[in-house]
Structure formats: C-alpha cells, structure tokens
Structure 1
Amino acid sequence: MRYSPISRFKGTLLGAFLGESLASSGEIQFQSHLNFGKMAVLGIQSLIVSGRLDLDDWIERQQQESLHLAATDDISIKIIISTLPVALFFHENPIKLRQNLLRVLKIWEDDPVVRDGTLAVGYAIALALTEKLDPLTLIPQTISFLGETPTSIPKNLLRVHNLLEQGAGLSRAQAEFAREEKLSNTIAMAFYCFLSTLEDFRLTVLRATHNDNSQVQDATPLSSQATGVITGALSGAYNGTGGIPVNWQVLLLQRNSPAWGLTSFSQMLELTDAFVAVWSGMYDLTLNSRELTEEGYEVAPLSVYAAPRVIRSR
C-alpha cells in the first residue's frame, strides 16, 4: 500500500480544510466564515459514538448545535462536504458506499445535482483510498457509478475528460466552467484541477483557488472556496498527508486556530485518529482498563489491530 489508511483519511479532511482556507493569493486564511466542514465534524463524531451510520443521531447533533442549512449559495457544497465521513467510512464497498451516501442525503433537501455531486466525489475518494484510482478511467467509471440521471454532471465530467485528453490548460478549463456559478460546474473544475496535477497537492489546490484569469474576473470568493474545498478533499485522499506541504501543516499546528467548529486544529487531528480507530475495528484498551489488571498488577497497555470491524469494543 502506497499510503496508510490514516494518512489518506487525514489527507482527505486536511485537504478539504486547506482548500477552503486558501485565498486566491495562495495565502492561508485561518478564519473562514463559510465553515464548510462544521457539519462533517458532527458526522464524524456520530460515526465514532455509534460505530455505524445513525441518521437520527446525526439530526440530533445538528439540532443541538443549531445547524440548519438555510437556502444560501453555499448550501450544496456544505452538504457534499458533510458526506465526506460517510465516503471514508464505507469506502471499501461500492454498494454500501452508494447506499449510505444516498441515506445520509435524506437529512437534507432532495436535489438531484447535489446527489450526483455527492456520489461523484465520494466514489473518487473511495477509489483513491483503495488505490484503484486510474486517472485515465476515473471519469468514465464515475459516470457509470452515477447511472442514469437527468443532471448535467455526467456531461460536464465528460467535457473534463476531453479537456484532459487534449492537454487543455487552466485558462481554457475556467472559460468552460466558470461562467456560471452552478454546482455541476464547480464539481467539473474540481475534477479538472485534481486530475491535471494528480501528484502535486500544493499545485492542485492553488490552481483550484486561482481566479485572476480575465475570463473569470467575476468569480466570487465563494466559487473559489467551493472549488478549493472539493479539490482539496480529492487530492488529499489520493496523496495522503505526505503529499501536503509540510510548511502548511506546521503553520496550521503553530497557529492551532479553531477549525470547523472545533476549538483547535489539533482537536481536528485527534478526532480523525479516533475516527480511523473506529473504522478499523481497533480495540481500545484504554477504555477497558479493568481487563488489564491481573492479580493486582497492571499489564502494560498494548495496541491491537485487525481487519475492519473484526475486533470491536466489548
């Protein structure tokens, strides 16, 4: 395996966070008013506690935090980013992946474009985590995964595929997709930026958030951040934390600012560690200390690993 699962899990979430945080100038903004991933954090917390997808628990957590998605321009992107924990948790099985992504979407409005965008991003992330992502076949496979649909997402993804085959540059892609702020165009640009610079996370997200081209001078910060957050998640899943610039990671740790509703960036990393532990089926001995006592002596704590969901907390 090229990268460990924990590296790819963290890469997905850290990549999305950086994609949202990068300004068009290439500098990291630590205070983003959009908070695309706040609801994703609640989803991770629910999966950790429940060990499964519990829609009632997701809804209850959102209500407790008074998180209600109003009809704003960023609602569709927030929904897609909110489903990232489900894509990570069920990435090994395409059937369960599709079923659970569709289940969690029932929490919000039933928008076909949001549905297709969620399935496309989730499927690409699943292929990256299972190391089955082939840049030459990703888009045809994704279109097949979407199935029959009336939305423009398959058509736009096919346009991306053709642009990549022709070796088209960023300016041409932006001219194709940035004229209107439609979710399907945002998804298309994210796939273009991801696949055109597959092995370079830094360049990928910088291109995704770049909007100085004269043909797209009317692009808004929302459009830039929306493309950046999806592109960052895709590239982070593929390249893992090892592909994310060290100076960016150090900067985030040094500032340790609040992230996606959490009190600090470090808390976000700790939450991801716990998330991977639950997904993997790791037996957490620290939660069962009584079992470590034998004839009055403490047995040294050990970490036990197994295939996903084989070993569970008792």
Structure 2
Amino acid sequence: MRYSVVSRFRGTLLGALVGESVASSGKKEFQNRCDIDRIAVLGTESLIALGRLDLDDWRARQQQASANLAVTDSISLKVILATLPVALFFHENTFKLRQNLLRVLKIWEDDPVVRDGTLAVGYAIAQTLTEKLQPRTLIPETIAFIGETPTSLPQQLLKVNTLLDRGAALERAQVELSREDKLSSAIAMAFYCFLSTLEDYRLAVLRATQYGNVWRQDHWRLHLHSISAITGALSGAYNSSAGIPVGWQILYSQANSATWELNNFSQMVELADALVAVWSGLYNHAQHSGQVSAVGDFIPEEEASLFLGEAIPQGSRYNSGNQSNAQPPLSVYAAPRVIRSR
C-alpha cells in the first residue's frame, strides 16, 4: 500500500479545507453562501457517533447547530464537499457507496448535476482508497458509475479524457470546458486539474485557482472555491496528507478553523482519525460488559500493533506494572462489513 488509509482519510478532508482556502486567499468572499462546510463536520461526527448513516441524526445535528440548509446556485457544488465523509466511510463497497451517497443527497434539493458530481467524486475517492485508481480508465469507469443521466457531466468528463490524451494546456481546457452547463463544467475542471497533475497536490490546487479569460466572468468565478476544494479533496485522497505542503497547512489553519466551526486545525485531523477507527472496527473491548462504548474506546496505534497473545510492554495502560507478561485484551481489526452490517 502506497499510503495508509488513515493518511488518505486525512488527506481528503484536509485537502478540501486547504484547497478552498487557497482559492479564497486574497480574494473577496462571496456573501451568498450556506453552511455546507459546517454540515460536513456535523455529518462526520454523526458517522463517528453512530457507526452508520442516519439522515435523521444528520438533520437533528444541523438543526441544533442552526446550520443553513438552503442551497443556491452559487454554492450548490459545496454539497459535494458535505458528502465527503460518506464517500470515505463507504469506500470499500461500490454498491453501498452509491446507495448511501444518493441517500444523503435527500437532505438537499435534488439537483441532477450535483447528484452526478457527488457520485463522480465519491467514486474517484473510493478508487484511490482501495488502490485501484488508473488514470487512463478512471473517466470511463466514473461515467459508468454515474449511469444514465440527463446532465452533460458525462460528456464533459469525456472532454477531460480527450484533453488529457492530447496533453492540452490549462487555458485550452478552460475554453473547452466552459461551453456547456457551468456546474458540469466546474466538476469536470476539478477532474482535469487533478488528473493532469496527479502526483502534485500543490500544483493541482494552484491550477484550479487560475483565472483564464473565460473564467473571469462572474458566473464562473462563483465556482472557483468549489473547484479548488474538490480538486484538493481528490488530490489529497491520492497523495495523502503527506502530499499537502506543510506551509499551506500552517498558513490556512486559522482561516479554515473559523470557516468549518473548529477550534483548531488539528480537530479535523482528529475527526478523520476517529472516522477511520469507526470504519475499520478498531475498538477496545469493554471489560465485563460485553458492550463497546461509542466514545473513548479506540485502541491507540502503538497498542493496536500488538499481536494477540503478545505480552504488553511495561507502562502500557493495560499493564498495571505488576504483571510483566500480562496479555492484551481481545481486539479485532477488520473491515466494517465483517464486524457489522450497515
């Protein structure tokens, strides 16, 4: 495995955060927005707490936090960002991935382009996390995953494939992709920036924020934040958190913390780590109860690496210090489909 699942989960969420901030840096913020970023955090917390997708719990958390669910055209692409936790949580099974992405979209008004974009981004992230992403076949596979649709997104993605085969420059791609529906074009542009600079997170995001002559128009500029964030999520999943420049993480941490309702940047890392733990089924077995508590029962990494039956090192919280050969509690590390159904 090129990168760990943990680092890819982190890379996806942090990549979206940093990508959006790079696009916002030095530019006037648009007043017309909703709390989609905040909803993504609330959705992640719901998945962590329940270990499954529960739309009622998502809505309850949003109402309690007074999050704005109204989606306008200028920020409709941010719905895709709100579904990133679901894409991560169900990445190992494409059937459940599609099923649950479509379920979570019911929280918002049904926009066919946003639906197709959510499926496209979710599938690309899933292929990355399962180490199956092949640049030459990703676009055709993504179109097949979307299925029959009245939108122009499949045609736009085919244009991306052609542009990549020809080695087309960024400005040419912007011209070609700006001729159709602007939402589909924005999603396709994010895929172009990601696939044209597959191994370089920094360059992918910088290309996503460049203003071409066509994209200087207001109705295109409205989507630049989302294009950069989606590009950041895709590239972050592929290159992991290690591929995101440390300087950017430090520079944009405070801005992102305010936008995403986090006290500090490290809390997003903690959310990503907890989401991996719940997804993987890595828990401590609660002594004498036969129950697993929802919070606080994740096994630390250094202790999870122990083999069953191996003696616990001195100083571990499972060893009181009086037993040099104490045995670790029974633990399980497996994919969630092995542990429980969702």
TM-score, normalisation: structure 1: 0.87
CA distance in 1, matches of 2:339, 2:171: 50
Distance 1:72 1:167, change over 3 A: same
Deviation of 1:108 after TM superposition, in Å, equals: 1.2
CA distance in 2, matches of 1:296, 1:277: 28
Output aligned runs, 1:1-314, within 5 Å: 1-23=1-23, 27=25, 36-178=36-178, 182-211=182-211, 213-219=212-218, 221-252=221-252, 257-284=257-284, 287=296, 306-309=333-336
CA contact (8 A) 2:87 2:101 kept: yes
Deviation of 1:256 after TM superposition, in Å, equals: 8.2
- Report the more deviating stretch, 85-94 or 173-182: 173-182
Deviation of 1:267 after TM superposition, in Å, equals: 1.5
Percent identity (aligned)? 62
CA distance in 1, matches of 2:232, 2:135: 16
CA contact (8 A) 1:259 1:265 kept: no
CA distance in 1, matches of 2:42, 2:205: 25
CA distance in 1, matches of 2:57, 2:14: 24
CA distance in 2, matches of 1:255, 1:214: 29
Amino acid at match of 1:264: N
Distance 1:103 1:169, change over 3 A: same
CA contact (8 A) 1:179 1:216 kept: no
Deviation of 1:79 after TM superposition, in Å, equals: 1.3
Report how many aligned residue pairs link the two structures. Answer: 306
CA contact (8 A) 2:48 2:274 kept: yes
TM-score, normalisation: structure 2: 0.81
Give runs of ≥4 in structure 1 deviating > 6 Å.
292-303
Partner residue in 1 for 2:303:
none
- Report the more deviating stretch, 250-259 or 37-46: 250-259
Which structure 1 segments of 5+ residues have no match? none
CA distance in 2, matches of 1:142, 1:270: 30
CA distance in 2, matches of 1:158, 1:54: 35
CA distance in 2, matches of 1:81, 1:119: 12
CA distance in 2, matches of 1:296, 1:195: 53
Partner residue in 1 for 2:310:
none
Deviation of 1:160 after TM superposition, in Å, equals: 0.7
CA contact (8 A) 2:125 2:237 kept: yes
Distance 1:156 1:255, change over 3 A: closer
SS of 1:125 mapped into structure 2 = helix
Amino acid at match of 1:37: D
Distance 1:178 1:295, change over 3 A: closer
Amino acid at match of 1:191: F
Amino acid at match of 2:120: A
Aligned alpha-carbon RMSD (Å)? 3.0
Which structure 2 segments of 5+ residues have no match? 286-294, 299-316
CA distance in 1, matches of 2:66, 2:180: 31
Distance 1:276 1:74, change over 3 A: farther
Amino acid at match of 1:51: G
- Report the more deviating stretch, 135-144 or 177-186: 177-186
